[in-house]
Each structure stands twice: as C-alpha cells, then as structure tokens.
Amino acid sequence: MKKFFLPLLVFFSLLPAVNAQKAQKAVYGVAFYNLENLFDTINNNGKYDIEFSPQGSRQWDGKKYWQKQYNMAYAISQMANKFIPDGPAIVGICEIENVDVIKDLVNMAPIKHHKYKIVHYDSPDKRGVDVGMIYNPKFFKVLHSNSHRLTLEDRPSFKTRDQLVVTGLLGGVKISVIVNHWPSRLGGERASSFLREAAAALTKHIADSLFAEDPNAGVIIMGDLNDDPDNKSVKDVIGAKKKISEVPVNGFYNPFWSLLDKGIGSLAYDGKWNLFDQILVSQNLLDGQSKLKYWRAEVFNFAFLTNRSGDYKGYPFRTFAGGVFLNGYSDHFPTIVYLTKGIDGNTIQSEE
C-alpha cells in the first residue's frame, strides 16, 4: 500500500501581538469534499473503469480530466475566507481513484502555492475509489497514519472503502482525523442501512481506541456517510448529538444536524436535500480541553458550485448529467468546521 501526506490552516489576529513570545491566535479550517469520480483516463479496473476512459460511454479523455482537476482545485481554493485566508488546514476527500490523481490535484494552479501534502492508502472498493487527505504543512504536521478495513463475516466478498486515520499536530495541538466514505444506498436506504451501521461501528471502535491512547487529543470524524445526521448509523451507532449540552465525555457533536433542520444540505435527490457530508467533533474540542475549540460549521454552497437554471436549479453543479459532460464540479457541496486556538469564538463572531 502507498501512503503520502498533506495539511492547511489560517491565522486571524484580533489584536496586534505584544511581543514575539505571546501565544499565537489562530483559526483552522478542517474540510471535507466528495470530488465525484475523480478518475484518470486509464482503464486499469476492467468493467468498473471502462466508462472513465476515452473508449467508454463518458469519452473520458485528457481534456475532460484536466478540466475536472482544475475545477476541483478552484473549488478548494475558494474555501479561503477572512477567517482562514490560506484556506482549510485539512481537506478530507473521497471518490478519488488513486494517489496519482491527488498528486495532479495538488499541483493545479489554483492551489499549487499551498504545497499541499497527501495521505492516501489504496482501498479494495470494486469501483477503485478511495478516501484520502490533503493538508497544508504550514499548519498541520502528520505524526502517523493508517487505514482500517471493514469486513463482514457473512459476506466475505463484500468490499468498500477503507477508513483513513491520520494523527498529527494542528497548530501544535494533537488531533486525529478519521476520513470515511461509507457504503452507498444502492438497493434502497432501508435494505442497505446495515452496511452503514457496520461502517459506523468500525468508526466508533477506531475513535474509542484513539481516546484510550490519548484522552486529551481531539478526534474528528468526517466523510460522505451516505446517511443523514438523524439516521441510525450516525445518531445511534456513533451517538453523535444535535446539541452540545448532550455530548458525553468521549462523545461527538454533529453540527450539521441543525443545518439540515434548516433545509441546508450537501446534495439533493428527487427534490429532497440530504446532508451526507458531515464532520463530527469530539467532546474535548467543545470545552477547549485539547487547546483547540470548535467554533462553527458551514456547507460551502457557493453560487458557482450550484446549478443556476433548469429542473435541477439550486442543486450541486456536477460533472455529468444524463451522460452529458457539463464541465461542473461535484454532485456534493464541500463542508467545513472551524477550530480556534487562543481565541474566543464569540469574539470572532462579533468581528463579522
């Protein structure tokens, strides 16, 4: 298995520093983005890869590939804002075919100057898609990483994406990130729910192991979970709470639950919004015990990422629709949480 690396953060000074020894105030963005079939043009996975080749139904050639890569890089570049002018410190990604497409991504003009590093392991998924992470080394330093495989005793042929675990120092503070792309709803939500619940159980086991290793280090669970915040896999198996006040020690807060309640989603299907792309934060990131503190969450539903007209107006502007190349971005919006160090979130809010 191959592995590589990446990080990113952002400085936001509320007051001028008194001296060089004063603790640095900072805001860090931790994001997730489903890149929707970021495949190269080479058919190296037989029938599962033929459509993403020049001979396939999508006529996936070099021109389309590089347009797709530029669009993905541009979308990531636009995550920068006044709180994180250098963009997110960490971006978890999924639906990427291999490490080579991630290398091409981080070398695209819109984000090349960040010198993103990569963490990636090959997964056994039948379609050949993996999860990964890119990060800005200015803000995040990788200590170690590994991947965890979901297996089912009664389904030995079952294959899905591995779960990536990256532990490092974000602004000098230890934190672990678990990047997921849980099994799809193929065959229907109810019929396939047990697969996502099994994936959630593996994620929970990983998180519990991280807490046992270092109770003071923050843990973030992120990914395309293929379930909403109120589905059993997230709500019951992970136990992620809608309200901060309800989160127990070693538990998780799901800031995207309240966003979905407000009608904000990361993808849409059949006239309904879902919020599959979630980022869960551990209890010790809520009270500042880890020296990093959760501040806010956001869905990046930028206008340029959105269909502006037609039957799918307001939906994410994807790469293909009905077999037609649209030169769009992804069928998912990216999501982000902001963590602060040495700053009161309420004070930052007053600066908006």
Query: Which domains, ranges and CATH numbers included, belong to the chain?
Result: 10-349 (3.60.10.10)
Residues in the chain: 352
Query: Residue 262 has what DSSP assignment?
Result: T
The closest of 27, 89, 90 to 349, measured between CA atoms, is 27
The closest of 256, 203, 224, 221 to 35, measured between CA atoms, is 224
Rounded to the nearest 10 degrees, what angle do helices 99-106 and 62-77 cross at? 60
Instruction: Report pLDDT for 247.
Output: 98
Do residues 199 and 160 make contact, with C-beta atoms less than 8 angstroms apart?
yes
Do residues 45 and 127 make contact, with C-beta atoms less than 8 angstroms apart?
yes
- Alpha-carbon gap, residue 291 to 88, rounded angstroms: 18
212 burial (CB, 10 Å; 0-12 / 13-18 / 19+) is exposed
Instruction: Report pLDDT for 336.
Output: 98
HSE (side-chain half, CA atoms, 13 Å) at 4: 20
Is pTM beyond 0.85? Reply is yes
Local structure of 224: helix, strand or coil: strand
HSE (side-chain half, CA atoms, 13 Å) at 235: 11
pLDDT, mean over the chain: 91
Tokens of 39: 């495949």
Instruction: Report pLDDT for 120.
Output: 98
Query: Residue 19 has what DSSP assignment?
Result: S
DSSP secondary structure string for all residues of 108-145 = SHHHHTT--EEEE-----TT--EEEEEE-TTTEEEEEE
Q: What is the pLDDT of residues 80-134, one digit of tens each?
A: 999 999 999 999 999 999 999 999 999 999 999 999 999 999 999 988 999 999 9
249 burial (CB, 10 Å; 0-12 / 13-18 / 19+) is exposed
HSE (side-chain half, CA atoms, 13 Å) at 9: 21
Helical H segments across 230-286, by residue range: 232, 256-261
Do residues 33 and 92 make contact, with C-beta atoms less than 8 angstroms apart?
yes
Query: Residue 244 has what DSSP assignment?
Result: G
Distances (CA, A) of 155 to 64, 150, 205, 332: 37, 11, 20, 30
- Alpha-carbon gap, residue 84 to 307, rounded angstroms: 26
Query: Residue 306 has what DSSP assignment?
Result: B
The closest of 81, 136, 131, 144 to 113, measured between CA atoms, is 136
- The distance of Cα 162 from the centroid of its chain, to the nearest Å, equals 14
- Alpha-carbon gap, residue 12 to 84, rounded angstroms: 7
| Alpha carbon distance, N-terminus to C-terminus of the chain | 45
Do residues 105 and 137 make contact, with C-beta atoms less than 8 angstroms apart?
no
Local structure of 341: helix, strand or coil: strand
Query: Residue 235 has what DSSP assignment?
Result: I
State which residues of the chain have pLDDT below 50.
1-23, 350-352
Instruction: Report pLDDT for 290.
Output: 87
E-strand ranges in 12-73 read 26-38
The closest of 50, 230, 44, 10 to 140, measured between CA atoms, is 10
